[in-house]
Amino acid sequence: MNFDLSEEQQMLQDSVARFVQDNYELDKRTELVASKQGFSDDNWKTIAELGWLGMPFSEADGGFGGNQVDTMVMMEQMGKGLVCEPFFASIVLGGGALKRAANAEQKAALLPGVIDGSRQLALAYAELQARFDLHDVTTTARAEGDGYVLNGHKSMVLNAATATEIIVSARTSGGQIDESGISLFIVDPKADGVKLENFPTVDGLRASEVSFENVALTANSLLGELDGGFAVLNATANDGILALAAEAVGALEVLYKDTVAYTQEREQFDHPLSDFQVLQHRMVEMFMEYEQCKSLLYRATLESVQGDDATAQRNVHALKHLIGKAGIFIGENAVQLHGGMGMTEELRVGHYFKRLLVIDSQFGNADFHLQKFAA
Amino acid sequence: MDIELSTEDLEFRNEVRAFFEENAYKNGEDFNKWRMDWFAKAREKGGWDVPKWPKEFGGPGWTPTQHYIWEQETATANLPWDLPFGLGMLAPVLMAHGSKEQQERFLPDIRDRKVNWCQGYSEPGAGSDLAGLKTKAELSADGTHYVVNGTKIWTTMAHIADWIFCLTRTDDSGIKQQGITFLLFPMKQEGIEVKPIITLGGSHSVNTVFLTDVKVPVENRIGEEGQGWTYAKGLLQHERTGLAGISRSLVALEKLKEQAASVPRGNSTLMDDPAFRGKIAELEVDLWATEYTELRSLASAAAGAAPGPESSILKLKGTEIQQRIQKLTVEAGGIYSASWGAKPAGPAFAKNGMGGYMSSRAYTIYGGASEVQKDVIAKNVLQIKRSSK
């Protein structure tokens, strides 16, 4: 039993940390967020050249054969800078579905581009009525001729605007909330009948409402088994939760440490704020929650790599619950202890807090996962 | 990163389980004889009677992972009772700061469970601010002994203890952490009066100890005169890391779930009550996180590193979790938790629920109150410096 990173993981961590340090000072990030695309093509190229995009794919698929621990190492560092490039959307989500379900032909057509960064993916799983349930799907794909016809609407699709392929969950049989009867399709966002409405999210990223009106899909658009898409979607969502939690842990570290630093500089009542015990204890609580999140992140990630499926699933629920709860606690208090300055866009705490709020809302919030954990 | 136990660790776990099984108490057996035999056999295993003692003092020299396995297994096994004061608190001080003579004089009887010790630290005027203690020890004119006068309070098991290790003041001219002297003396002697304190749980475990002109030979002093605070501080750290009780809480939580599932509610049970179930789940998530915080702390200890920042939170989180389990036990007992002593009806666990809960309130007070722990973390881990203003 040990929690040490391997030499390769240590190097990966250092390399991502350096990238964040070089490219993600607040001003630079603010510029990126304000740009049309919301991220930097140069950064994306750098990330691809450094090989990070290939990390979670097997060597047979042209990747480096990394697992969830490697993704955790990268996402934690990216969380410290709130990296905007779509590693999460394209590699963890889109790539996660592809690597699990794609046939040889689909892999050959898409994975090289995904790994070298020339292609980007998006995963369209959410629907208006579904709240957090991945299996609540009304978008339909009707078999017609050799292929399918896709109709419906997907919500809050991350990175759809720059994606070359969108992976869409659609109902091919069964009732609205049945787990069986869901299939995944690889859809070209430029195809006839696909409409994107793009917008920025509160944390500076990009998402879209995507509608499909009689979109014609070929037989080879089907990703994985017909009616068997839920298992792929759920496993991908679990990886997504682990990755978001790692990003959150990176962000939480910045928040508590910035707060400790700020309260020692800022003076009121002729004292640095950090002289006041009520603030010291609050910061200790922030630190403790951060450490607890980190512990559970390690636990859930390692159980996902080494444990059985049921244990791993329960750990993922536990983790997403705690990350949501602790993220809001630490975020609110970081703003509170920075006082008026915490309310401004000039300091980074507010930006990190927004990201944590968005993370809580993705793939089920703290309450949702507590109920799943308790079930 | 790897959470799997090595083959050696798995073998060790089997060995521990087998030992506990072979030596379990059998109905009708003489309890005291069983207890002493158990420790003797544990000793033959290579120091299992003193798991935390270092190898050079006869301990087993386990790895941190082995310690963790031992903790896990002892949480479910029925072990003979033991008191921590001699074994876990005084012994490390003797090993680090006692003379060779003192070690040879006191350690064997501690190990053989022949002598029970109690800890003379807190005083009516010195609780969280322990260094403010005033119990006076004056060196006799001939320099052969100290004369001790003062009052100690919250002294656990003083009423059955044979000896006490006691912090006394020999000098009050400097800052309060200086001038404290660490003395050992027998409890059954003239000038010592022990008065019971009954706590909220209805039980007697703590006492007030009045010391009047108690004579203590100088050879019973640990280390140097005036240096007692340094020795005691190390001891407190020792005490705090042992108080998280994660393994025991994991077992207690499972028991609580069973109890709640036996409490009827409408057509189902209390475990089907969404609010109660939610509280159990929230507690379990926190416990899972704390379990890994402990593992991380053990792993860094195994690597020979100084305890990482994560270790500092174990006492705080661990004791809070223990209290929440007690609180939910009271909730599960419903109206029957109001019964005290004799119990008219209702589930068996409810009878002691309130007592257990009341007693558990002390967990966040002793061994450094939670608020003091937070001061310590702010200073040592977050490294917040108090300004000179």
**CATH assignment of the domain containing A42:** 1.10.540.10
- The answer to whether B281 contacts A374, with C-beta atoms less than 8 Å apart, is yes
- The answer to whether B378 contacts A315, with C-beta atoms less than 8 Å apart, is no
Q: How many domains does the structure of chain A reveal? A: 3
With beta carbons under 8 A apart, name residues in chain A contacting B321. none
pLDDT at B351: 83
Please say which residue of A228, A259, A287 terminates a domain. A228
Per-residue pLDDT for A232 more than 70?
yes
Give the tens place of pLDDT for each residue, A64-117: 999 999 999 999 999 999 999 999 999 999 999 999 999 999 999 999 999 999
Distances (CA, A) of B286 to A114, A144, B367: 38, 51, 22
Active-site residue, B239 included = yes
For residues A302 and A299, give the distance between their C-alpha atoms in angstroms, rounded to a whole number: 5
Identify the band that residue B65 occupies on the pLDDT scale cut at 50, 70 and 90: confident
CA distance A7 to chain B (A): 11
CA distance B4 to chain A (A): 6
- The answer to whether B387 contacts A303, with C-beta atoms less than 8 Å apart, is no
Cβ of residue B378 closer than 8 Å to a chain A Cβ = yes
The range of the structural domain enclosing residue A240 comes to 231-374
Give the tens place of pLDDT for each residue, B135-183: 999 999 999 999 999 999 999 999 999 999 999 999 999 999 999 999 9
Q: Where do the structural domains in chain B lie, given as residue ranges?
A: 7-82, 89-96+114-229, 242-380
The residues in A 288-307 lying below 8 A from B, measured between CB atoms, are: 288, 291-296, 298-299, 301-303, 306-307
- The answer to whether B299 contacts A315, with C-beta atoms less than 8 Å apart, is no
For residues B282 and A318, give the distance between their C-alpha atoms in angstroms, rounded to a whole number: 9
Same domain, A72 and A166: no
Nearest CA to B80 out of B19, B29, B39 is that of B39
pLDDT at B344: 67
Cβ of residue A373 closer than 8 Å to a chain B Cβ = yes
pLDDT at B236: 65
For residues A361 and A296, give the distance between their C-alpha atoms in angstroms, rounded to a whole number: 19
Give the tens place of pLDDT for each residue, B13-46: 999 999 999 999 999 999 999 999 999 999 999 9
For residues B308 and B381, give the distance between their C-alpha atoms in angstroms, rounded to a whole number: 9
CB-closest option in B281, B292, B295 to A373: B281
Same domain, A294 and A335: yes
According to DSSP, the β-strands at A140-144 and A147-158 are antiparallel
Identify the band that residue A242 occupies on the pLDDT scale cut at 50, 70 and 90: very high
The residues in B 334-353 lying below 8 A from A, measured between CB atoms, are: none
The residues in A 57-96 lying below 8 A from B, measured between CB atoms, are: 69
More confident residue, B76 or B249: B249
The residues in B 271-300 lying below 8 A from A, measured between CB atoms, are: 277-278, 280-282, 284-286, 288-293, 295-296, 299
- The answer to whether A292 contacts B286, with C-beta atoms less than 8 Å apart, is yes
| Residue of chain B minimizing CA distance to A272 | B387
pLDDT at B301: 74
Is A94 contained in some domain?
Answer: yes
With beta carbons under 8 A apart, name residues in chain A contacting B128. none
**Do A263 and A347 contact (CB within 8 A), yes or no?**
no
Cβ of residue A322 closer than 8 Å to a chain B Cβ = yes
Is A341 contained in some domain?
Answer: yes
CB-closest option in B65, B281, B313 to A291: B313
With beta carbons under 8 A apart, name residues in chain A contacting B5. 1
**Do B220 and B375 contact (CB within 8 A), yes or no?**
no
**Do B321 and B291 contact (CB within 8 A), yes or no?**
no
ipTM at complex level: 0.95
CB-closest option in A281, A284, A295 to B293: A295
For residues B213-222, give the mean pLDDT: 98
| Residue of chain B minimizing CA distance to A292 | B289
CB-closest option in B5, B310, B382 to A1: B5
For residues B200-208, give the mean pLDDT: 92
Same domain, A241 and A210: no
Please say which residue of A209, A228, A247 terminates a domain. A228
Cβ of residue A280 closer than 8 Å to a chain B Cβ = yes
CA distance B268 to chain A (A): 15
With beta carbons under 8 A apart, name residues in chain A contacting B375. 277, 280-281
pLDDT at A128: 97
For residues B360-366, give the mean pLDDT: 92
Is A317 contained in some domain?
Answer: yes
Cβ of residue A312 closer than 8 Å to a chain B Cβ = no
Is A279 contained in some domain?
Answer: yes
- The answer to whether A370 contacts B282, with C-beta atoms less than 8 Å apart, is yes
| Residue of chain B minimizing CA distance to A9 | B1
For residues A28 and B59, give the distance between their C-alpha atoms in angstroms, rounded to a whole number: 58
Residue A113 neighbours by CB distance under 10 Å: 14
Residue A16 amino acid letter: V
More confident residue, B315 or B183: B183
Q: Where are the alpha helices (DSSP H) in chain A?
A: 7-23, 26-34, 41-49, 68-81, 95-101, 104-116, 229-265, 277-306, 309-337, 349-361, 366-374
Per-residue pLDDT for B272 more than 60?
yes
For residues A54-61, give the mean pLDDT: 97
> What are the backbone dihedrals phi and psi of residue A121, each rounded to the nearest 5 degrees, phi first?
-115, 160
Same domain, A126 and A246: no
CA distance B270 to chain A (A): 13
Q: What pTM was estimated for this model as a whole?
A: 0.94
Per-residue pLDDT for B240 more than 60?
no
The residue among B271, B290, B292 with the most chain A CBs within 10 A of its CB, best to mutate, is B292
Percent of chain B whose predicted confidence (pLDDT) is above 90: 76
Same domain, A215 and A328: no
Give the tens place of pLDDT for each residue, A316-375: 999 999 999 999 999 999 999 999 999 999 999 999 999 999 999 999 999 999 999 999
Per-residue pLDDT for B341 more than 80?
no
In words, the CATH class of domain B89-96+114-229 is mainly beta
For residues B121-134, give the mean pLDDT: 94
CB-closest option in A296, A301, A306 to B288: A296
- The answer to whether B387 contacts A2, with C-beta atoms less than 8 Å apart, is no
Give the tens place of pLDDT for each residue, A173-202: 999 999 999 999 999 999 999 999 999 999
CATH number for the domain including A350?
1.20.140.10
**Do B271 and B277 contact (CB within 8 A), yes or no?**
yes
Give the tens place of pLDDT for each residue, A273-304: 999 999 999 999 999 999 999 999 999 999 99
For residues A120 and A165, give the distance between their C-alpha atoms in angstroms, rounded to a whole number: 7
pLDDT at A30: 97
More confident residue, A215 or B202: A215
| Residue of chain A minimizing CA distance to B10 | A1
Please say which residue of A228, A244, A262 terminates a domain. A228
According to DSSP, the β-strands at A206-217 and A194-200 are antiparallel
For residues A366 and A374, give the distance between their C-alpha atoms in angstroms, rounded to a whole number: 12
Cβ of residue A260 closer than 8 Å to a chain B Cβ = yes
The residue among B71, B277, B285, B290 with the most chain A CBs within 10 A of its CB, best to mutate, is B285
The residue from B71, B123, B225, B239 that is catalytic is B239
Question: Which DSSP letter does residue A168 get?
Answer: E
Cβ of residue B317 closer than 8 Å to a chain A Cβ = yes
Percent of chain A whose predicted confidence (pLDDT) is above 90: 98
Is A2 contained in some domain?
Answer: no
> In the predicted model, what is the mean pLDDT of chain B?
92
CB-closest option in B1, B278, B387 to A69: B1
CA distance B382 to chain A (A): 7
pLDDT at B343: 64
pLDDT at B355: 87
CB-closest option in A272, A280, A296 to B292: A296
**Do B51 and B39 contact (CB within 8 A), yes or no?**
no
CATH number for the domain including A216?
2.40.110.10
- The answer to whether A264 contacts B286, with C-beta atoms less than 8 Å apart, is no
Is A195 contained in some domain?
Answer: yes
Tokens of B123: 């005083």
In words, the CATH class of domain B242-380 is mainly alpha
**H or E element in which residue B151 lies:** strand B145-153
Same domain, A224 and A238: no
- The answer to whether A275 contacts B4, with C-beta atoms less than 8 Å apart, is no
Same domain, A224 and A241: no
Cβ of residue A311 closer than 8 Å to a chain B Cβ = no
CB-closest option in A275, A294, A296 to B387: A275
pLDDT at B307: 67
